[in-house]
Structure 1
């Protein structure tokens, strides 16, 4: 590896494309990165929701979990292939699609979403750590101890994310063994809580419920990571087959998610407590004796930490892409400070803020999905990313387009967002509805598929505008036009 991308050393590279001679590793690295980010036992409520609120039996829940998890992370893998082509983070590559100015909107949404989920991860992990201290040492939660727990989590996050790519990859693989084993131990105990008679005699749900369930799982898993796909894959050598990168992302995340979603479905058959809980950490803890609660809470803490490593690393790169002139490690530091402040506010100041906060960042998923659609359509005919052009945000740059904006892409992105919101309902409860689109009474809206509508509309509008304006293949050179076909070859 190069001197700035070694385990234990601070990665000095920012968003500039990685030269071919500095690319090392292979798809197995990506497998462990995505496996680690998805071994959190907090995936259990997703499976519980399929059974409790969608009425599925366990076999349907397993199938829906598999399609939603593997399928959505296959999209993450496809965007990761672009990272191999261009050697740059996802939102930096997005400059080629939207133009340096047009890319500010998608990049800002990506950064807000990433930081928002980091705050949720940090807060939840701090609650888990407080519970461990209470069980093990009888220590009561107070303001000072709450801040200490928050600091401990963000410090562990900064230690890995601040050092950078090589350290993150190394830690994710090895920590997976530890926290994965803890998850297996806790999961094995939870299996004893399953109402097997109810599981074996549960009726099947209609096909429509399964379709909606796939959307729920995809929206709650891979879609949220799609705009970070290339961030880790940018160090992959060009000769690595694209299909292996897609498989690494899909399998790395899909295997742990399907196991956890299935267990959540089993636990919720005959008992809807987990699915209805506002705090899934506490709900699962209540199912366990105190001697098993500590391993469970450690597994929850570790899973959140491994997910946060990747999220903070990606958020730092996204901040730089916005045009803020910072070293990558400084951008990561700012990110964790904001995360700490958000955690302090959530835990010590806000009243009933947890639900509304998650509702806000869930709304951002519509905009992220619209970006994914435009980006993937562009990949379908793209030949290569110009490394100098990605870094040139001045007038006359190769990706300047018109006024710094690629209007077909930007228009399609906005069209996807607007249409998706028509089918979106944002609420923290039945009585606290933030926003309800005019079409919120329709089947897609009732089943939480507004993001899927956004994807379809953005893709179709972009295809139409590209055809009408003759854009889509200009200023691209070097890589054969059929490169995308290699993903499946």
Structure 2
């Protein structure tokens, strides 16, 4: 048996410290509402990293108005997928990758779980590194220190440690505290973002914005794909982790709406602002450090609230990512308490951030390429899992926690080969259209990367279609003895 910390059934109200691991939440303790998830997804997406996405759309040749359309369709649409996947959490009361054992088999699920964990750790390292640079920039203003991190290694390590400590305090305490913090912190950091955003809008070169020529429709479609891949798709495997405390009476449509609207509102605003800034200053799209590039556009008195807002947005995003990574770690069968799994994940990203800031010569380019590589197998998992949910409305709690031959989800050798085969085939198909690494010297170029879908970043769409279509053609979810689908 692979389990976290078992908790007996009790009242529906959660305590401040969540001691439950990955075992399904008893129905009596599921009293969550979709409004809670609205704030969770809103908070996770007020990160300043949304601005470079808008700059990327302008760099592709779009006007600001086309970028706004791409941002709205890409972010809202991809988070609608996140909301759809979260339906599994409401049905089964367990984290997404734990529920995935029913789809892939208790052994077949190891592959998607490892990929998901690596992706979460990757994004956490991006968040941590960016937040450390943010604090260092703040120290430059307030303390007069130099701007180079390698010249101040102790201060850099302190900056990383502060971010990680604030992360583990919330993610370690668990679901109830995370939901509360995400809601109330959103108001504070959201207000700062509005103030800073209003100032940045006043600096926009509106003549350049109005003079831009529209890009072809194909470019806009590609931009939608870029936004979807960079926003909602990356969160899909964490969605059920938050919805497992939702009341069984909550409607599926409410879950979809809470995710699409909760993430869509801040993302559309931030991506649109990024496109406005880039239309007036194209250099923003090529900036290696987006925080520093935007900081340079601000006077000192406005840079302080900007950096605080940037730090807060990264922290709120990291809360959710680390919480999910802890549950994913337990799903691999590691027998420790959930809070310790959170600490382990934070230690990994702490070491990673130190290396990439103080040792390595570059960070964002190589690491984003690594995360982009993982986006293909994650998208393949989303496609298979989404089709599985069409027929699977019930999960066996005992079978989810049993990783031995006695599990109802053992299938053949611990693998549900139809699901695993569709997942593997979709990964191969996706990489055929994928280019990884810097454009000048890519690390990997798929045989079909120079076709229109490949050049326009639509490999993830092909991956999803092959995964979902392949699994559907093979019959999707099928009942096993003693475990009905409905």
TM-score normalised to the size of structure 2?
0.95
Query: Are 1:67 and 2:70 counterparts?
Result: no
Change in CA separation of 1:417 and 1:284 when aligned onto 2, cut-off 3 Å: same
CA distance in 2, matches of 1:309, 1:4: 23
Matched, 1:207 2:217: yes
Query: Which of 147, 150, 170 is the equivalent residue of 2:157?
Result: 147
Determine the structure 2 residue equivalent to 1:104. 110
Q: CA deviation at 1:432?
A: 2.3
Please say if residues 382 and 476 of structure 1, whose CA atoms lie closer than 8 Å, have aligned partners that are also in contact: no
DSSP 3-state at the match of 2:49: helix
Structure 1 residues 4 and 19: alpha-carbon distance in aligned structure 2, compared to 1, 3 A threshold: closer
1:247-306 deviations in whole A, cap 9, x for unaligned?
000000000000111111111114212111111111100110111111111111000000
Asked if the contact 1:98–1:405 (Cα under 8 Å) also holds between the matched residues in 2, the reply is: yes
Query: Which of 444, 449, 462 is residue 440 of structure 1 equivalent to?
Result: 449
Q: CA deviation at 1:200?
A: 2.5
2:242 to 232, 245, 258: 232
Tell me the secondary structure at the aligned position of residue 296 of structure 1: helix
Correspondent of 2:140 among 129, 134, 146: 134
Tell me what 2:256 maps to.
246
Distance 2:482 2:181 in 1: 37
Cα deviation for residue 232 of structure 1 reads 0.4
Q: Give the corresponding residue for 2:4.
A: none
Give the conservation status (yes or no) of the 8 Å contact 1:412–1:461.
yes
Q: 2:5 aligns to what? A: none
What residue ranges of structure 2 are gaps of 5+ in the alignment? 1-8
Asked if 2 retains the 8 angstrom alpha-carbon contact of 1:69 and 1:222, the reply is yes
Q: Of residues 445, 456, 481 in structure 1, which corresponds to 2:465?
A: 456
SS of aligned partner of 2:414? coil
1:67-86 map, 5 Å: 67-86=73-92
2:411 paired residue among 394, 401, 422: 401
Aligned-partner Cα distance in 2 for 1:284–1:329? 36
Partner of residue 56, structure 2: 49
Residues in 2 aligned to 1:451 and 1:239: alpha-carbon distance in whole angstroms: 33
**Distance 1:178-1:330 versus aligned 2 partners, 3 A rule:** same
Asked if the contact 1:384–1:476 (Cα under 8 Å) also holds between the matched residues in 2, the reply is no
Instruction: State how 1:298-377 maps to structure 2 within 5 Å.
Output: 298-377=308-387
Instruction: Note if contact 2:167-2:318 (Cα within 8 Å) is conserved in structure 1.
Output: yes
Quote the Cα distance in structure 2 between the aligned partners of 1:58 and 1:389.
51
Partner-residue secondary structure (3-state), 2:443: strand
Inter-partner Cα distance in structure 2 for 1:475 and 1:363:
38
| Aligned mates of 1:369, 1:335 — CA distance in 2 | 23
Match of 1:22 in 2: 29
Q: Provide, for residues 138-159 of structure 1, a one-character-per-residue CA deviation record: whole Å limited to 9, x for no partner.
A: 1335111110000000000000
Deviations 1:30-59 (A, max 9, x none): 0000000001122011111112x2211222
Contact 1:126 1:150 in 2 (8 A): yes
Give RMSD over aligned pairs: 1.6
Distance change in 2, residues 1:4/1:21 (3 Å) = closer
User: C-alpha distance in 2, partners of 1:326/1:477?
Assistant: 29
CA positional deviation for 1:476 = 7.4
The secondary structure found in structure 2 opposite 1:466 is: coil
Question: Is contact 1:385–1:476 with CA below 8 Å preserved after alignment?
Answer: no
Aligned-pair CA distance for 1:3: 7.5
Question: What is the SS of the residue equivalent to 1:41?
Answer: coil
Count, aligned residues: 474
Q: Aligned to 2:475, what secondary structure does the other structure show? A: helix
Q: Please identify, of 136-145 and 98-107, the stretch whose mean Cα deviation from structure 2 is larger.
A: 136-145
Alpha-carbon distance between aligned partners in 2 of 1:90 and 1:82, rounded to the nearest angstrom: 7
Taking the aligned partners of 2:136 and 2:281, their CA distance within structure 1 comes to 27
State the alpha-carbon separation in 1 of the partners of residues 129 and 227 from structure 2.
23
Structure 2 partner of 1:382: 392
Aligned partner of 1:159 in structure 2 is 169
Contact 1:383 1:476 in 2 (8 A): no
